[in-house]
Structure 1
Amino acid sequence: MEQENIAVGLDIGTTKIVAMIGRKNEYGKVEILGIGKAKSLGVHRGVVNNITQTIQSIQQAVRDAEANAGLKVDQVTVGIAGQHIRSLQHSDYITRANYDDVIEEQDIEELCNQVHKLVMLPGEEIIHVLPQEYKVDGQAEITQPIGMHGARLEANFHVVVGQISSIRNIVRCVKNSGLELGGVNLEPLASANAVLSQEEKEAGVALIDIGGGTTDLAIFKDGIIRHTAVIPFGGNVITEDIKDGCSIIEKQAELLKVKFGSAWPGENKDNEIVSIPGLRGREPKEISLKNLSKIIHYRAVEIIEQVFQEIKNYGHEEQRKKLIAGIVITGGGAQLKHLKQLVEYITGMDTRIGLPNEHLAGDTEKDTASPIFATAVGLVMKAIYEHEHQVQEEKEEEQAKLEEDQPIQTVSEEEQTSSEDTEELAQENPEKQDRATGPRRNIFEKFFDGLKDFLDKAE
């Protein structure tokens, strides 16, 4: 197995930490080689609040993934989320000195780097600078300006910002776990890459990733990220409500939610009851499933309404901003029974559960293609893309260096004499001209001759 083709995603969540090892197979799909999962003890609502416990959980998850895959990993791509994340819209431009030359990748990089210099609020830093539309000399609605002529290059950007301390704490946890940080990616973007199709992104779609501590939102339209938001509530708040409402311990509340919970109270009959074992020999506690569903329903409605408010803030009711593909729910919270129906009822938008199976190899285990692992799969995909991009850049640099080092070839007297003899031979016997000059035709001439023959036949 080639170590350089391996990519590792590390999802540091509030409920769990997942390490996923994968690689791209010959069909362009992601092949999952190993998964490690550990209970997250040092993270609250996406923010690290206990460095030591988080490091231990990361090491446990990575060890399990390495044991499953049968190999050692040293570099990971990490997902970042949390209530400290916010986003803003920004426009910027550069004036190109050599406007006679076409716009190249380096011009776009210069423009993005300029946005990275924006002054943020104290304690904040820019995580992502995501270009939306470009303008070249005032010409708007350009999605790809590379190859165009122009003096002024302008763009609208979606800028994602986070707290420096929170980001540094995650980086520190990763490095202190004995791992190298390959990259940082916003978790809703990673989940979107794993569960959304390009057609949905073009049509307009809102991705809702319901995790343990936070609910992340990412809105796409015309294939471009338009809006991101982090709601500081997730599945753990529902568990807390069940624990308080039913007077049981957290472990029992989580089991109740997963096994019997529903976001739609009308589905349960009044006489449906589940018995919970008592603590230390106490009498068992009987809980009505209808009451359980009511508790879950009220909190789920609150979360969905906050997300829907963010969708309204984006302006989805405008015709040009309409989300034709509706809503896609993913994350661990997406497994809650009847949540899809509740989202459709509140928002009036078509909804589906997002599974990360579209980009996975056909022989992937069913448990892996679960909404729980959507972010981890997206991080592995991001790591693979970054690796391929880096390899391509190295090849281009190597090729450019070879071309610079290649000596200029001079024609020797013998080659010149041979060329003159060939010309004389061609003049004396035209029929032998092809055979005399044939070996000297270069590969490009042969290619264009073949192309000409093909076009002639096509006509």
Structure 2
Amino acid sequence: MENNKIAVGLDIGTTKIVAMIGRKNEYGKIEVLGIGKAKSLGVKRGVVNNITQTIQSIQQAVDEAQSVSGQKIENVVVGIAGQHIRSLHHSDYITREKSDEVIDEFDIENLVGQVHKLVMLPGEEIIHVLPQEFKVDSQPEIKEPIGMYGGRLEANFHVVVGQVSSIRNIGRCVKSAGLNLSDITLEPLASASAVLSQEEKEAGVALIDIGGGTTDLAIFKDGIIRHTAVIPFGGNVITEDIKEGCSIIEKQAELLKIKFGSAWPGENKETEIVSIPGLRGREPKEITLKNLSKIIHARVQEIIEHVYLEIKNYGHETQKGKLIAGIVLTGGGSQLQHLRQLVEYITGMDARIGYPNEHLAGDSDSVLSSPSYATAVGLLMEGLRKDIEVEEEVVENQPEVTAPINDALEEEILEEPVVEKEYKAKEKSKSIFEKFTEKFKEFLDNAE
């Protein structure tokens, strides 16, 4: 891949908006050229609730990334999350007319298209249809049915659903900030790309991304995404509890959480006290670290129990659904002291903190390997991966000429629509997300 191929990941979060611009180096690692960060003022629990403020925050983050990198940002890969995202499981089948012919991509397209016709709640739209495993006639647990013979093709699907208005609002903000939406990715999937290894995905792993406004869950088993969920609590509710419990302002509560916060109350002694300056000459407040950790512990426990309920709903306790690799914690909220120990205690599963540094070039700024940038790194990776696919497609579509040809033969070759055939074959195998992105861009253009 050439060094001038750059991509941009735009993470529109509840607490911060991050624009990360980068490219791949000669070793295939990501070299971050610039990063821009802005306070997110118009987003609550992953959903845009103030268009003007969100546009300003996006522009601020993008301008900062442009000035640091010296590159002009035009196209961005955006993550979607928020409490409006939900998932469901669905089984469907098609009966093939020509059972004496092998199953091809067209049959799978038909089956996926059938799932897209499912009737959703008003204002909801299917944004992702992920085949889990297939069944051909009476043969179950088939990962790849293409090339097999069979009359009935059946599959289990993981269907991700979101509110049309919420997704449209994000698209409007990106467009109004003067940017092109090149792709949309589910944020838990982006974070998973950045912090999970293929071995973990095969063995079975639950990724918990604790953000400012939401906690995202993605469960992988046998290398396939099995379950996704968005819990409408994050680091902000912990800060809110500290603010209320200690009668202090939000800024002080956030600093207390970051500097002295712990998810395990037993770690702090009654004698450990922190003094908070009073407002406008008032007396300073004294808060014991034990009380602080009790407030944090109560809320964190609630978040973990919500997530663990989702993990149990997926079927972790069954032999087939066992998550051997345990839990990986990422996102800004995962940096809370003793969180890993509390997660292990509540769930009984092994846990680790997920850092995105595995995919970053060796000379990258250490700040970038923080779990709070996992989603941005994942979105950047997605953008670079799309660039490689586009590049490969262009190369594959070039007709090869290995010997001199006469005029008559040249006319014959030019008449043969080689490129068009190749393009059609490629078009068939587009991912669901690419199709969704195309539909979504049309949707935005028509909405203007």
In the superposition, the TM-score normalised over structure 2's length comes to: 0.86
3-state SS in 2 of match to 1:148: coil
Residue 30 of structure 2 is aligned to residue 30 of structure 1? yes
CA contact (8 A) 2:274 2:289 kept: yes
Matched to 1:59, the amino acid is Q
RMSD between superposed Cα atoms in Å: 2.4
Q: Which segment drifts farther, 362-371 or 342-351?
A: 362-371
Equivalent-residue separation in structure 2 for 1:178 and 1:330 (angstroms): 31
Where does residue 313 of structure 2 map in the other structure? 313
Report the alpha carbon displacement of residue 387 of structure 1 after superposing the two structures with TM.
Answer: 2.3
Tell me the secondary structure at the aligned position of residue 27 of structure 2. Answer: coil
Residue number in structure 1 paired with 2:129: 129
Q: Distance in 2 between matches of 1:374 and 1:264?
A: 25
**Cα distance per residue 1:414-443 (max 9 Å; x no partner):** xxxxxxxxxxxxxxxxxxxxxxxxxxxxxx
CA deviation profile, 1:338-380 (whole Å, cap 9, x unmatched): 0000001111100000111222222222110110000111111
Letter aligned with residue 244 of structure 1: E
* 1:215 equivalent in structure 2: 215
Cross-structure match for 2:47: 47
Matches for 1:165-180 after TM superposition, within 5 Å: 165-180=165-180
Deviation per CA, 1:23-53, whole angstroms, max 9, x where unpaired?
2222222221111110000000001000000
Look up the SS of the partner of 1:367 in the other structure: helix
Instruction: Give the letter for the 2:344 counterpart.
Output: E
What letter corresponds to residue 329 of structure 2 in structure 1? I
Cα distance in 1 for partners of 2:338, 2:323 equals: 22
Work out whether residues 10 and 18 of structure 2, in 8 Å CA contact, stay in contact via their aligned partners in 1. Answer: yes
Taking the aligned partners of 2:150 and 2:72, their CA distance within structure 1 comes to: 49
Aligned residue for 2:195? 195
Task: For residue 94 of structure 1, report the CA deviation from its aligned partner.
Answer: 3.7
Name the stretch that deviates more: 71-80 or 86-95.
Answer: 86-95
Separation in 1, partners of 2:339, 2:306:
15
Quote the Cα distance in structure 1 between the aligned partners of 2:238 and 2:249.
13
**5+ unaligned residues in a row in structure 2: which ranges?**
411-448
Aligned to 2:252: 252
Counterparts of residues 265-280 of structure 1 (less than 5 Å): 265-280=265-280
1:356 aligns with 2:356: yes
Give the corresponding residue for 2:145.
145
Aligned positions, number: 409
**Letter of the structure 2 residue corresponding to residue 38 of structure 1:** A
**Offset from partner CA, 1:200-226 (integer Å, 9 cap, x none):** 111111111000001111111111111
Aligned counterparts, 1:199-348, within 5 A: 199-348=199-348
CA drift at 1:100:
5.2
Q: Which moved more, 1:5-14 or 1:130-139?
A: 130-139
1:4 CA drift (Å): 6.2
Whether the aligned pair in 1 keeps the contact of 2:3 and 2:23 (CA below 8 Å) is no
Quote how far apart the aligned CAs of 1:399 are.
3.5
Q: How does 1:25-174 map to 2 (within 5 A)?
A: 25-96=25-96, 102-174=102-174
d(CA) in 1 for partners of 2:304, 2:229: 13
Please give the per-residue CA displacement for 1:163-221, whole angstroms capped at 9, x wherever unaligned: 11111100100000000011111111111111111111111111110000011111111
Q: Distance in 2 between matches of 1:104 and 1:24?
A: 34
Q: Which residue of 2 aligns with 1:416?
A: none
Q: CA separation in 1, counterparts of 2:214 and 2:150?
A: 44
Offset of 1:57 from its aligned partner?
0.3
User: Contact (CA 8 Å) 2:272, 2:288: kept in 1 or not?
Assistant: yes
Q: 1:401 to 1:374 in 2, by over 3 A?
A: farther
Letter in 1 for 2:210: I
Residue identity opposite 1:77 in structure 2: V
Mark the CA change 1:228 to 1:406 in structure 2 (over 3 Å): closer, same or farther.
Answer: farther
Please give the per-residue CA displacement for 1:131-172, whole angstroms capped at 9, x wherever unaligned.
111223442222123343444433221110001111110010
**Structure of greater Rg:** 1
Amino acid at match of 2:178: G
